[in-house]
Amino acid sequence: MVEGGEKRFPVSWDQFHRDARALAWRLAGIGSWKAIVCVTRGGLVPTAIVARELNIRIIETVGVASYHDYKTQGDIEVIKKVSGDVVGLDGGEGEAVLIVDDLVDTGKTARVVRRILPRAHFATVYAKPKGRPLVDTFITEVSQDTWIYFPWDTGLAFQPPIAQDEQR
Protein backbone atom coordinates (compact mmCIF):
# COMPACT_ATOMS: atom_id res chain seq x y z
CA MET A 1 0.00 0.00 0.00
CA VAL A 2 1.44 3.38 -1.00
CA GLU A 3 0.46 6.57 0.79
CA GLY A 4 1.42 10.14 -0.10
CA GLY A 5 4.07 10.84 -2.80
CA GLU A 6 4.86 7.60 -4.49
CA LYS A 7 7.85 6.39 -6.42
CA ARG A 8 7.37 4.31 -9.54
CA PHE A 9 9.11 1.08 -10.48
CA PRO A 10 7.98 0.11 -13.99
CA VAL A 11 8.93 -3.41 -15.06
CA SER A 12 9.08 -4.50 -18.72
CA TRP A 13 8.34 -8.06 -19.88
CA ASP A 14 12.04 -8.55 -20.56
CA GLN A 15 13.06 -7.36 -17.11
CA PHE A 16 10.36 -9.44 -15.45
CA HIS A 17 11.53 -12.56 -17.30
CA ARG A 18 15.12 -11.93 -16.19
CA ASP A 19 14.10 -11.31 -12.57
CA ALA A 20 11.84 -14.39 -12.45
CA ARG A 21 14.61 -16.48 -13.97
CA ALA A 22 17.05 -15.08 -11.38
CA LEU A 23 14.55 -16.23 -8.73
CA ALA A 24 14.57 -19.73 -10.26
CA TRP A 25 18.39 -19.79 -10.22
CA ARG A 26 18.42 -18.82 -6.54
CA LEU A 27 15.76 -21.39 -5.65
CA ALA A 28 17.63 -24.12 -7.53
CA GLY A 29 20.57 -23.56 -5.19
CA ILE A 30 18.42 -23.77 -2.06
CA GLY A 31 16.27 -26.87 -2.37
CA SER A 32 13.79 -28.90 -4.39
CA TRP A 33 10.02 -29.02 -4.29
CA LYS A 34 7.37 -31.36 -5.66
CA ALA A 35 4.70 -28.76 -6.33
CA ILE A 36 4.15 -25.05 -6.72
CA VAL A 37 1.24 -23.25 -5.13
CA CYS A 38 0.73 -20.15 -7.22
CA VAL A 39 -0.90 -17.14 -5.53
CA THR A 40 -3.26 -15.93 -8.25
CA ARG A 41 -3.40 -13.81 -10.14
CA GLY A 42 -0.08 -11.99 -9.68
CA GLY A 43 1.81 -15.26 -9.17
CA LEU A 44 0.72 -16.75 -12.52
CA VAL A 45 3.49 -15.35 -14.74
CA PRO A 46 6.39 -15.96 -12.31
CA THR A 47 5.01 -19.45 -11.63
CA ALA A 48 5.14 -20.31 -15.34
CA ILE A 49 8.78 -19.19 -15.51
CA VAL A 50 9.91 -20.87 -12.26
CA ALA A 51 8.03 -24.12 -13.07
CA ARG A 52 9.75 -24.29 -16.46
CA GLU A 53 13.21 -23.69 -15.02
CA LEU A 54 12.85 -26.08 -12.06
CA ASN A 55 10.90 -28.70 -14.04
CA ILE A 56 7.96 -28.72 -11.64
CA ARG A 57 4.74 -29.98 -13.21
CA ILE A 58 2.35 -30.09 -10.27
CA ILE A 59 0.87 -26.61 -10.09
CA GLU A 60 -1.92 -25.67 -7.68
CA THR A 61 -3.42 -22.25 -7.10
CA VAL A 62 -4.61 -20.30 -4.11
CA GLY A 63 -6.76 -17.33 -5.05
CA VAL A 64 -6.21 -14.31 -2.79
CA ALA A 65 -7.32 -10.74 -3.49
CA SER A 66 -7.14 -7.62 -1.36
CA TYR A 67 -6.38 -4.71 -3.74
CA HIS A 68 -9.93 -4.42 -5.06
CA ASP A 69 -9.48 -0.72 -5.84
CA TYR A 70 -6.24 0.26 -7.56
CA LYS A 71 -3.56 0.79 -4.85
CA THR A 72 -6.01 0.60 -1.94
CA GLN A 73 -5.97 -2.54 0.14
CA GLY A 74 -9.22 -3.90 1.51
CA ASP A 75 -10.00 -7.07 3.45
CA ILE A 76 -8.19 -10.22 2.38
CA GLU A 77 -10.45 -12.58 0.50
CA VAL A 78 -9.49 -16.21 -0.14
CA ILE A 79 -11.35 -16.84 -3.39
CA LYS A 80 -9.99 -20.34 -3.98
CA LYS A 81 -8.51 -22.70 -1.38
CA VAL A 82 -5.52 -25.04 -1.80
CA SER A 83 -6.35 -28.69 -2.51
CA GLY A 84 -5.76 -30.98 0.49
CA ASP A 85 -3.72 -33.34 -1.77
CA VAL A 86 -1.10 -30.65 -2.28
CA VAL A 87 -1.01 -29.49 1.35
CA GLY A 88 -0.48 -33.11 2.44
CA LEU A 89 2.43 -33.95 0.10
CA ASP A 90 5.32 -35.50 2.11
CA GLY A 91 5.13 -34.47 5.75
CA GLY A 92 2.02 -32.33 5.30
CA GLU A 93 1.65 -28.60 6.04
CA GLY A 94 3.21 -27.77 2.67
CA GLU A 95 6.60 -29.36 3.37
CA ALA A 96 7.14 -30.21 -0.33
CA VAL A 97 5.60 -27.01 -1.65
CA LEU A 98 7.05 -23.85 -3.17
CA ILE A 99 4.69 -20.86 -2.97
CA VAL A 100 5.17 -18.26 -5.73
CA ASP A 101 3.81 -14.72 -5.91
CA ASP A 102 4.87 -11.62 -7.83
CA LEU A 103 5.56 -9.50 -4.72
CA VAL A 104 5.03 -8.94 -1.03
CA ASP A 105 3.97 -5.45 0.00
CA THR A 106 2.38 -5.24 3.49
CA GLY A 107 2.75 -9.02 3.87
CA LYS A 108 -0.97 -9.55 4.54
CA THR A 109 -1.45 -11.91 1.58
CA ALA A 110 1.66 -13.89 2.47
CA ARG A 111 0.51 -14.21 6.10
CA VAL A 112 -2.81 -15.75 5.01
CA VAL A 113 -1.16 -18.21 2.61
CA ARG A 114 1.50 -19.15 5.16
CA ARG A 115 -1.23 -20.06 7.62
CA ILE A 116 -2.51 -22.64 5.09
CA LEU A 117 0.98 -23.99 4.26
CA PRO A 118 3.19 -23.24 7.29
CA ARG A 119 6.15 -25.38 6.17
CA ALA A 120 6.25 -24.29 2.53
CA HIS A 121 8.98 -22.11 0.99
CA PHE A 122 7.60 -18.68 0.05
CA ALA A 123 9.22 -17.04 -3.00
CA THR A 124 8.48 -13.71 -4.68
CA VAL A 125 10.22 -11.71 -7.36
CA TYR A 126 9.93 -8.36 -5.54
CA ALA A 127 9.59 -7.39 -1.88
CA LYS A 128 8.87 -4.23 0.10
CA PRO A 129 10.26 -3.85 3.66
CA LYS A 130 7.01 -4.60 5.56
CA GLY A 131 6.49 -7.87 3.70
CA ARG A 132 10.11 -8.94 3.60
CA PRO A 133 10.10 -10.96 6.87
CA LEU A 134 7.33 -13.14 5.42
CA VAL A 135 9.24 -14.32 2.33
CA ASP A 136 12.00 -16.93 2.28
CA THR A 137 13.47 -15.92 -1.09
CA PHE A 138 13.08 -12.84 -3.29
CA ILE A 139 15.18 -11.02 -5.90
CA THR A 140 14.74 -7.23 -5.66
CA GLU A 141 13.66 -5.01 -2.78
CA VAL A 142 11.99 -1.65 -3.41
CA SER A 143 11.04 0.95 -0.79
CA GLN A 144 7.62 0.84 0.87
CA ASP A 145 6.54 4.04 -0.91
CA THR A 146 7.23 2.56 -4.35
CA TRP A 147 4.49 1.16 -6.59
CA ILE A 148 5.63 -1.63 -8.89
CA TYR A 149 4.06 -1.47 -12.37
CA PHE A 150 3.91 -4.93 -13.92
CA PRO A 151 4.00 -5.42 -17.70
CA TRP A 152 0.57 -7.11 -17.73
CA ASP A 153 -0.98 -3.98 -16.14
CA THR A 154 0.69 -1.38 -18.35
CA GLY A 155 1.19 -0.35 -21.99
CA LEU A 156 3.37 2.00 -24.00
CA ALA A 157 2.41 5.63 -23.50
CA PHE A 158 3.86 9.04 -24.32
CA GLN A 159 6.09 10.41 -21.54
CA PRO A 160 6.40 14.21 -21.25
CA PRO A 161 10.05 15.37 -21.28
CA ILE A 162 11.52 15.81 -17.78
CA ALA A 163 12.09 19.56 -18.37
CA GLN A 164 8.42 20.02 -19.32
CA ASP A 165 7.34 18.19 -16.16
CA GLU A 166 9.51 20.51 -14.03
CA GLN A 167 7.87 23.64 -15.48
CA ARG A 168 4.47 22.64 -14.04
Ligand X SMILES: O=P(O)(O)OC[C@H]1O[C@H](OP(=O)(O)OP(=O)(O)O)[C@H](O)[C@@H]1O
Ligand Y SMILES: O=c1[nH]c(=O)c2nc[nH]c2[nH]1
Residues at the interface with ligand X (CB under 6 A)? 39-42, 65-67, 73, 101-110, 131
The answer to whether residues 81 and 62 touch, using CB atoms and an 8 Å cutoff, is yes
Identify whether 145 is a catalytic site residue.
no
Per partner kind, with CB cut-offs from 5 to 8 A, the member of ligand X, Mg ion, ligand Y, none near residue 147 is ligand Y
Strand 121-127 vs strand 35-40: parallel, antiparallel, or unpaired? unpaired
Identify whether 105 is a catalytic site residue.
yes
- CA distance linking residue 6 with residue 4, whole number of Å: 6
Per CB under 6 A, 150 contacts ligand Y: yes
Nearest Cα neighbor of 74 from 150, 159, 1 is 1
Identify whether 101 is a catalytic site residue.
yes
Q: Is the peptide bond before 168 cis (omega within 30 degrees of 0)?
A: no
Catalytic residue among 75, 102, 136, 153: 102
Summarize the annotated binding site for xanthine as residue ranges: 105, 148
Residues annotated as catalytic are 101-102, 105
Summarize the annotated binding site for Mg(2+) as residue ranges: 102
Binding-site ranges for Mg ion (CB under 5 A): 42
